[in-house]
């Protein structure tokens, strides 16, 4: 959260007081720092040095066109999981030859779109998908570049909902079934095997699970090589964690160093390119959700700060019991602090953004919900017919509106009443 700092009692994003963002654009509003996004990506690039590494940005974390555009300008590749995300990459000026297409349920139309755009690689998650892709590519007279997503059965040590590399998860092809799937792929006429892929989970805060997954992939790479199936790249997915509270995830540099060391020890290490698919670690700490306290209220048990943002805006606390910092936008030194649950107006007891936080606040105050740049707006909904928040990117002391606040009318514009 380096781009969000207090100057005196005021919380700034880069050089701009967050209070002025609220004044100009209203609340709730997602506010991102351009510098924080660019710096996070640049750190990956620096860590990669001159190696053959493609750092993709996993769009699902935050798919605003301006974010994609910024990262495209920095040379990022993109990890997509739908035809919709591909359209966003293209609309934002991203390069399709730097796109990898992940996801367990790719539809034929999505495959066609991706083949026509010329994506770099399909990360295929089952034999059925492989056969479908071969057929779709054949009909278009193309060859589809593929990696198989292998499920290495590694515990990422993260929340069960965002753990994806365990045997019991729906993702990927089981490690012990991968060889057979590669053999199938190798004999399909319209598929070109180019790599191997895994993604073991998200918000991973230690290097070990990445290394365990890499070891499993390298084992397979050797077996495949012995059969004459030669791979050009290894895609290790995303998943590097960020600090929400007191987590201490490895630095981008430390993670890459460990991976490079392991690759360099492999006899054919120099022949593999590496691909990554990072989302959270690029945008997570580059954004906050700016919200205003509507009411303070207490009952026999608790004190509540009812704010104008809700679970529909930021779903992570309700869904994963996730912890986000809460920062007063104008700190009140003199007022006594109380312990509050920060809750929204949605009609569910699960509608909370933070619980048990000691804050000195009054009705009308602004709060910044921290570390909301990833999986915030991207997972927002219109539950309770709530228009989704505006999105703003701050660059120095300039604020750019990158998504207007939705109008309520637009929420039911596609709906029709029955004929009389
Ligand atoms: N690649 C694949 C195939 C993925 O499924 C994901 C995330 C990523 C890359 C990016 O992972 P990251 O670097 O952002 O950890 N909504 C949850 C996170 C879900 C992650 C799903 N897959 C949350 O708010 O914590």
pLDDT in tens, 206-221: 999 999 999 999 999 9
Cα torsion through 126, 127, 133, 136, rounded to 10? -130
With 0-12 / 13-18 / 19 or more C-beta atoms within 10 angstroms meaning exposed / middle / buried, residue 161 is exposed
CA of residue 55 to ligand 1 center, whole Å:
15
Helix (H) or strand (E) holding 283, with range, is: helix 280-283
Is residue 233 pLDDT above 70, yes or no?
Answer: yes
Per-residue model confidence (pLDDT) at position 1 = 87
Ligand 1 site, residue 125, Cβ cutoff 6 A:
no
Q: Which of 91, 189, 109 is nearest to 144 (CA)?
A: 189
Active site residues: 347
| Nearest Cα to Cα of residue 286 among 371, 185, 356 | 371
Q: Which atom of ligand 1 is nearest to the CA of 284?
A: 14
Tell me the CA–centroid distance for residue 171 and ligand 1, in Å: 12
CA angle 183, 185, 188 (to 5 degrees): 115
The CATH 3.20.20.10 portion of the chain extends over 95-278
CA distance 233 to 214: 12
Share of the chain above pLDDT 90, in %: 92
Ligand 1 within 6 A of CB of 375: yes
Per DSSP, 251 falls in state: P
Cβ of 202 less than 6 Å from ligand 1: yes
Phi, psi of 59, deg, nearest 5: -55, -30
Atom of ligand 1 nearest to the CA of 315: 24
**Does the CB atom of residue 252 touch ligand 1 within 6 A?**
no
Which pairs with CB-CB distance under 8 Å and at least 24 residues apart come from 350-356?
350/311, 350/318, 351/310, 351/311, 351/318, 352/311, 352/317, 352/318, 353/289, 353/291, 353/307, 353/309, 353/310, 353/311, 353/314, 353/317, 353/324, 353/326, 354/317, 354/323, 354/324, 354/325, 354/326, 355/317
Q: Give the start-end residues of each E strand in 313-397.
A: 326-328, 338-343, 352-359, 366-369, 390-395
Whether ligand 1 lies within 6 angstroms of the CB of 79 is answered as yes
Percent of the chain exceeding pLDDT 70 equals 98
Q: What is the pLDDT of residue 154?
A: 87
For the domain 95-278, what is the CATH code?
3.20.20.10
pLDDT in tens, 92-137: 999 999 999 999 999 999 999 999 999 999 999 999 999 999 999 9
Beta strands (DSSP E) in 190-325 are: 191-197, 233-235, 273-278, 287-298, 303-307
Note the CATH number of domain 4-32+285-411.
Answer: 2.40.37.10
Domain with CATH 2.40.37.10 in the chain: 4-32+285-411
- Which of 106, 243, 247, 277 to mutate to test ligand 1, by most ligand atoms within 8 A of the CB atom? 277
Q: Is there an atom of ligand 1 within 6 Å of 316 CB? A: yes
d(CA 381, CA 388): 7
What is the 126 CA–ligand 1 centroid distance (Å)? 19
Can you tell me whether residue 155 is helix, strand or coil? coil
> Is the CB of residue 277 below 6 angstroms from any atom belonging to ligand 1?
yes
Is the predicted pLDDT of residue 162 greater than 70, yes or no? no
Of ligand 1's listed atoms, the one at least distance from the Cα of 316 is 24
CA 81/CA 122 separation, integer angstroms = 10
328 lines ligand 1 (CB under 6 A): no
Cα 163 to middle of ligand 1, angstroms = 9
Distance from Cα 61 to the centre of ligand 1, integer Å: 7
CA distance 224 to 201: 25
pLDDT for 54 beyond 70: yes
């Amino acid at each position: 959260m380096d781009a969000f700092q207090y100057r005196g009692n005021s919380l700034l994003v880069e050089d701009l007081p967050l209070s002025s963002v609220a004044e100009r654009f209203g609340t709730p509003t997602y506010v991102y720092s351009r510098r924080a996004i660019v710096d996070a990506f640049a750190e990956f690039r620096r860590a990669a040095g001159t190696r053959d590494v493609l750092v993709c940005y996993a769009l699902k974390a935050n798919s605003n066109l301006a974010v994609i555009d910024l990262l495209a300008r920095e040379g990022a590749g993109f990890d997509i999981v739908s035809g919709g995300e591909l359209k966003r990459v293209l609309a934002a000026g991203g390069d399709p030859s730097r796109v990898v297409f992940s996801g367990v349920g790719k539809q034929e139309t999505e495959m066609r779109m991706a083949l026509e755009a010329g994506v770099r690689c399909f990360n295929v998650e089952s034999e059925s998908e492989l056969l479908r892709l071969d057929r779709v590519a054949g009909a278009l007279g193309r060859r589809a570049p593929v990696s198989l997503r292998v499920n290495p059965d590694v515990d990422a040590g993260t929340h069960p909902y965002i753990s994806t590399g365990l045997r019991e998860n729906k993702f990927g092809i089981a490690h012990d079934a991968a060889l057979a799937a590669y053999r199938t792929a190798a004999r399909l006429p319209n598929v070109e095997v180019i790599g191997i892929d895994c993604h073991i989970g998200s918000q991973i805060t230690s290097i070990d699970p990445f290394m365990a997954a890499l070891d499993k992939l390298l084992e397979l790479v050797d077996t495949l090589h012995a059969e004459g199936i030669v791979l050009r790249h290894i895609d290790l997915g995303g998943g590097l964690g960020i600090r929400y509270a007191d987590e201490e995830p490895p630095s981008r540099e430390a993670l890459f160093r460990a991976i490079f060391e392991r690759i360099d020890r492999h006899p054919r290490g120099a022949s593999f390119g590496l691909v990554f698919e990072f989302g959270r670690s690029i945008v997570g700490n580059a954004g906050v959700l700016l919200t205003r306290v509507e009411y303070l209220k207490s009952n026999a048990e608790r004190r509540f700060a009812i704010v104008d943002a809700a679970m529909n805006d930021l779903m992570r606390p309700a869904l994963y019991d996730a912890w986000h910092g809460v920062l007063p936008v104008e700190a009140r030194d003199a007022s006594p602090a109380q312990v509050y649950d920060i809750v929204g107006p949605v009609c569910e007891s699960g509608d909370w953004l933070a619980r048990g936080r000691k804050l000195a606040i009054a009705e009308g105050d602004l709060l910044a919900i921290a570390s909301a740049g990833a999986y915030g707006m991207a997972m927002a909904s219109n539950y309770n017919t709530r228009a989704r928040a505006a999105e703003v990117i701050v660059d120095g002391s300039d604020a750019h509106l990158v998504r207007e606040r939705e109008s309520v009318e637009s929420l039911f514009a596609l709906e029709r009443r029955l004929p009389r």
